[in-house]
Amino acid sequence: MKRSKILMIGLSMLLLGNTLVFAENENAVGFELTTDFFGKYIWRGQNLSDDPVFQPGLNISYGNMSAGVWGNMDLSNINGNSGDFSEMDYSFDYSSNIPGIEVVGYSVGVIYYDFPGTKVKDSTEIYWGLSLDVPLSPSVTVYHDVDEAEGTYVSLALGHSFEKIIELGPEMPIGMEIGTSLGWGSGSYNKYYWGTDQSKMQDLVFSVSFPMEIVGFSVSPSLNYIMLVSDDIRATDAYGTASDFFFAGVSLSKSF
């Protein structure tokens, strides 16, 4: 069994084993378990898997700090990793509000990317972000690769949530969340990932999801559209012949 599989199983056992221990002090330590299924795996416009994937994750929070592990498992044999984790990400984050300006939130953190069973080199990013608690929830997040790419990726995002658009009975309201983001890559970032040393607007993302609660779990089916913005990047796209992607997915999560 691969190291990544052992780690995911171990963390899941840790989650279940500590649920009762922290039940009386749940405001101090929190756990969130996520399990996502998507028709494709598109990361910053890169088509990393053109077939269905399973993406579980575990996040542990304490106050303003959180640490998480997330994995991508290919469910087909397109990349030679069917049933195996082709990516494992480990992250640490600190998020809060700017003192005296509660409408402005900030986050700083680090992400370590591991690619077991592939030829892709591991890499590390540090990031910082700002968000506004105003209509459309605008945010900007800057990621800087300090390892392999030694470049910068910037994401600008907007979103809006509707608490209820329809109700399937008195105990099951269905909401809607709409989001969009635009990504930009520096010359060194695009050189590493796309083969062009020009700084360019990179990917444009549109998504709509329909969150609901089912037997204590948060369930959120979604539709997603992602396109590459730059013609230069489209011309060098080594991740697939298509540069526009439309796919569906469903996310399940449980907080403890």
DSSP E strand boundaries for 50-172 = 53-62, 65-74, 85-98, 101-114, 123-132, 139-145, 152-167
The total number of structural domains in the chain stands at 1
**Number of CB atoms found within 10 A of residue 16's CB:** 12
Q: One-letter amino acid identity for 75? A: L
What are the φ and ψ backbone dihedral angles of 148, each rounded to 5 degrees?
-80, -55
Task: Say if residue 87's pLDDT is above 50.
Answer: yes
Helix (H, G, I), strand (E, B) or coil at 76: coil
Beta-carbon contacts of residue 4 (< 8 Å; ≥ 6 apart): 71, 84, 85, 88, 114, 116
Burial 136-161 (b: 16+ CB within 10 A, else e): eeebebebbbeeebebbbbbebeeee
The pLDDT-based confidence of 182 (bands split at 50, 70, 90) is very high
Range of the domain at 69: 3-255
Q: CA 46 to CA 23: how far, in whole Å?
A: 41
pLDDT of residue 28: 82
Tell me the per-residue pLDDT of 232-252, one tens digit each, with 9 for 90 and over. 888 886 665 578 999 999 999
Inform me whether the pLDDT recorded for 53 exceeds 50: yes
Q: How far is CA 125 from CA 18, 111, 142, 208, 215, in A?
A: 30, 5, 10, 28, 37
Query: Is residue 84 classed as helix, strand or coil in its secondary structure?
Result: coil
The pLDDT score that the predictor gives to residue 237 is 67
CATH (domain of 9):
2.40.160.40
- Asked if residues 58 and 64 have their Cβ atoms less than 8 Å apart, the reply is no
Q: What is the mean pLDDT of the chain?
A: 87
Average pLDDT over residues 10-29: 49
